[in-house]
Amino acid sequence: MPRNDAVWSASDTTPDAIEAAMRELLVQRHAENAAYVPARVLNMLVFVDDAWSGEVANRLRGVGRYHASRVIVLSFDPRRGRIDAQASIAADDAAPGELTLLRETVVVRIGPSHLDDLPTIADPLVVTDLPTLLWSPHGHTEEADTLIGLAQAALVDSIDEPVWRAAIERACSLSERVYVVDLAWLRSTPWRERIAGAFDSGRMRAELDEISSVRVRHHPSSTVAALLLVGWLASRLGWTTSETRAAQHDGGSRTLTGSATTGAGEVALELVAAPELAVPGLASVELATASELRLSLDRGEGGLRARQRERDGSERTWTLLGASRGESGILGEGIRQALLRDPTYRPALKSAQSMLPHTAAATAPSPTA
Amino acid sequence: MAVAQRQAAPALEGANPLTEGLERQPVAPTTLVIFGATGDLARRKLLPALYNLAHDGALPKRFHLVGVARRERAHEDYRAECEQAIRDFSRRPPDDDVLKGLLSNVKYVPGTFDDPTVYERIEKQLDGFESHAGEPLNRAFYLSTAPMFFPVIVEALGSAHLEHHEGAAVRVIIEKPFGTTLAGAEELNRRVLAIFDESQVFRIDHYLGKETVQNMMAFRFANGMFEPLWNRNYIDSVQITAAEDIGIGSRAAYYDAAGALRDLIQNHMLQLLCHVAMEPPASFTAEDVRNEKVKVLHSIPEPTAAEIPEMAVHAQYAAGHAGGETVPGYRQEQGVPADSKTETYAALRLEVENWRWAGVPFYLRTGKRLARKVTEIAVTLKPVPHLAFSAQGSLGVLPNQLVLTLQPNEGVSLKLGAKIPGTRMIIRPVNMEFLYGTSFLSQSPEAYERLITDAMRGDATLFTRNDEVEAQWHICDPIIDAWSHSSEELPQYEAGSQGPEQAAALLREGDSWRAI
């Protein structure tokens, strides 16, 4: 659908002036067409390096209808001394008889002298009474921490952080203060749904007590995603998890191995990097039980390929249909999830934290990340 | 040193501990058999809904579809028809891999619905799927056919012993209309329930699958501010409108036999009334919700012949103007008999005779070729008992009115009295508006996506129970009967208008129909 924007910009401006300009733009747009109505769902507050602001804007354009109703981008340039800003209110062309939602974007360009006052710059631009999602896609934890008081949720992607321990500890620390939406966790949603579905029948549910090994293959950058998946199983099934061991292989890939204890015994855990996987996330999950049942899920075209081997040795395969969401779909899902609450992430994160190996692998960047 | 993380073990008995926190709950492996698999409903709604469920990963881990229709065609040809229907009518462009995967699980069985060999061939397909899966699969039989075939198919399923399957659930999903009279509905219920248990029967009223209708329960029961006012002490009247600006299009054969009252009031609009008037259910389970709705229907007295002229109006559209064009009257529409007495407009005044609603009129109206397309519920509150500033000029003071709009722009509007800026205390009504579309990021799924999933999961909350259907007919049947025996000329209204003047006669003194 064609899109049209109303744009305002100013140099050496103030947050109050930007906010007043936004209000004026809204009035203009409504006067232009009564079918234009402002969306009032979610503020998204983004802290980004000026050099990367274009890339972030492109990523946000890709989320389509999951665009936050107001996006406030604080774009940091270490050479900048004054505040410049651009505000735009975009609308799709209105169809007769239908309302068209307006989407608001404010880009505020700031420099080092503004870092101490970030909340006072962002606060006037945040629509009151709407939840606010904070996203700092390129680190900047210090700046993000100064802004966190304005937010109810923080968007992170734990696989972006090359040091696993830093990624998980950052997510743990944030989750003490706000609801954390972790894209690494959301990439595993279809896997978690399919595993839950596989064990939903009465016969299979009994096998949950019998799980004896879990093997997860993952993109080399996505060790944290694999840890979260195993952490999810552990936290949901009441396993006790502990430190894993890391092994480095030829070619730079790593394997984590360890175990969890359950009421019935031990579960062997293995997390293996899969360099052939072209996209971030998981490549396969294999679960085996003490009763010699094996279930594996592999990434495939049009969904996940399931293979189940029964204790009598018979084997069946089928496809669990589902379209890939792509990276822009994952980001859109992350924005949508800011309005929901998943009570299982934090326990999974805590389990993942307990499985971090005490070796350089967890504290040094992954070579393939 | 990392500390071992011991999680409190969720109970492994009972609920699946892995489903906690998941938005999409698992659906048991199912084979869906669609009777009338090449019909309009299947092509436009059911197949696109199944594709969208597949796209979202919301189909069961094993899902198969068997299409049943009269004409002979190969499996491949039926798959090609399914693909075309999905490409034409899906709410999103299909992903080729997902579509291919879905179609690979589709089979076709040709034959007439009264032919016992059809059911043998269906069973053979079902057995084949199960043999491949190595486990019994749930079976859902979807009756997307003309209503005359409902009992034929149900009884044939019974004769073929397909109403039960060891180790799996068997369900039958029945499209509306569920009967065209009270006697017809009772007879159909009797024949269906002679084969299936009520817990296996899912009667579709697709209105209940709409987000907008489900939102009504959220509006009433998740917001503390309305419920204290939601009774005869504060509410003066309730008006439910389902108006369409279009004519009957190509549906003459169906519509002329049905009419406005059967088409919309008997099912959809009485459902809306139930959602407005029901008591808060103890839980959001099928039985609790449906029990409350049935209580409302039982509180509406069956109209007597003497009461009907006072509480029901019917009419038919005449030629007029719509959308800037001259349009024909109903009797001039293609396929409509020139002497048709079928109503294209129906309006009722109903009373819900219980403690909460006694004395509050519920006005229902629906019609074709009215001024505008709108579905809304307007709840008018009683006027304030005393206006302190009436002497200063407050002629514009009107009772508060809460309007829940279901379409086209779903939202809630509250009419309030506000002071006109100036030196005097002069009041005029203003609207406080809320539009659902401005507050959510997600696109609403189609009603059929929700309903098919619920039926496969065995959740009957959004389906109509047998006693609910019969209670609806107890209200409508006497009216249909009186109208069909009436020798009076059927009132006409101009196409594109507000409807017949006669509708005003239903209103209590001081009440008025809202402008469409």
Would an 8 Å CB–CB cutoff place A198 in contact with chain B? yes
Average pLDDT over residues B26-53: 96
Question: Of B9, B14, B122, B127, which is closest to residue B68 (Cα–Cα)?
Answer: B122
Res B74 pLDDT > 90: yes
Q: What percent of chain B has pLDDT over 90?
A: 78
Q: How far apart are CA B245 and CA B260, in angstroms?
A: 14
Contact B164, B171 (CB under 8 A): no
pLDDT, one tens digit per residue, over A180-232 is 999 999 999 999 999 999 999 888 898 999 999 999 999 999 999 999 999 99
**Given this model, what pLDDT does residue A367 score?**
46
pLDDT, one tens digit per residue, over B364-413 is 999 999 999 999 999 999 998 887 776 666 666 788 999 999 888 888 99
Residue A366's pLDDT band (cuts 50, 70, 90): low
Res B2 pLDDT > 50: no
Question: Of B391, B387, B388, B366, which is closest to residue B376 (Cα–Cα)?
Answer: B366
**Given this model, what pLDDT does residue A254 score?**
82
**Given this model, what pLDDT does residue A369 score?**
40
Q: Which residues does B472 contact at the CB level (< 8 Å), separation at least 6?
A: B266, B267, B270, B297, B464
Nearest chain A residue to B374, by CA: A97
Would an 8 Å CB–CB cutoff place A259 in contact with chain B? no
Q: What is the 3-state secondary structure (H, E, C) of B65-101?
A: EEEEECCCCCHHHHHHHHHHHHHHHCCCCCCHHHHHH
B440: Cα separation from own chain's centroid: 23
Q: What percent of chain B has pLDDT over 70?
A: 96
Q: Is B268 a catalytic residue?
A: yes
Res B78 pLDDT > 80: yes
pLDDT, one tens digit per residue, over A202-213 is 888 989 999 999
Distance from CA of A182 to the nearest CA of B (A): 15
Whether residue B134 and residue A314 make contact (CB cut-off 8 A), yes or no, is yes
Higher pLDDT, B429 or B335: B335
Residues of chain A with Cβ-Cβ distance to B132 below 8 Å are 316
Residue A21 φ/ψ, nearest 5 degrees: -65, -35
Contact B424, B393 (CB under 8 A): yes
**Given this model, what pLDDT does residue B210 score?**
84
Question: Of B336, B355, B308, which is closest to residue B477 (Cα–Cα)?
Answer: B308
**Which residue, chain included where needed, has tokens 């594709």?**
B51
Res B174 pLDDT > 60: yes
Q: How far apart are the first and last CA of chain B?
A: 71
Mean pLDDT, rounded, of chain A: 91
Window from A149-158, A351-360, B305-314 with minimum mean pLDDT: A351-360
**Given this model, what pLDDT does residue A361 score?**
53
pLDDT, one tens digit per residue, over B318-364 is 999 987 889 999 999 999 999 999 999 999 999 999 999 999 999 99
- Candidates A321, A353, A363: best to mutate against B (most CBs of B within 10 A) is A321
Res A16 pLDDT > 70: yes
Contacting A residues, span 39-78, partner chain B, CB-CB under 8 Å: 39-42, 65-69
**Given this model, what pLDDT does residue B335 score?**
93
Task: Name the amino acid, one letter, at B392.
Answer: Q
Would an 8 Å CB–CB cutoff place A98 in contact with chain B? yes
Res A365 pLDDT > 70: no
Of A37, A234, A350, the CB nearest to B435: A37
**Given this model, what pLDDT does residue B423 score?**
81
Contact A196, B22 (CB under 8 A): yes
Res B131 pLDDT > 70: yes
Of A41, A195, A350, the CB nearest to B440: A41
Helices A223-237, A164-177: axis angle to 10 degrees equals 50
State the DSSP code for B263. I
Whether residue A322 and residue B24 make contact (CB cut-off 8 A), yes or no, is no
Q: What is the DSSP string of B132-187?
A: HHTS--EEEEEE-S-GGGHHHHHHHHHHTT-S-BTTB-EEEEEPSPS-SSHHHHHH
Window from A96-105, B177-186, B227-236 with minimum mean pLDDT: A96-105
Residues of chain B with Cβ-Cβ distance to A314 below 8 Å are 134
Res B151 pLDDT > 60: yes
Record the pTM.
0.89
Whether residue B21 and residue A209 make contact (CB cut-off 8 A), yes or no, is no
Which of B55, B64, B206, B268 does the annotation list as catalytic? B268
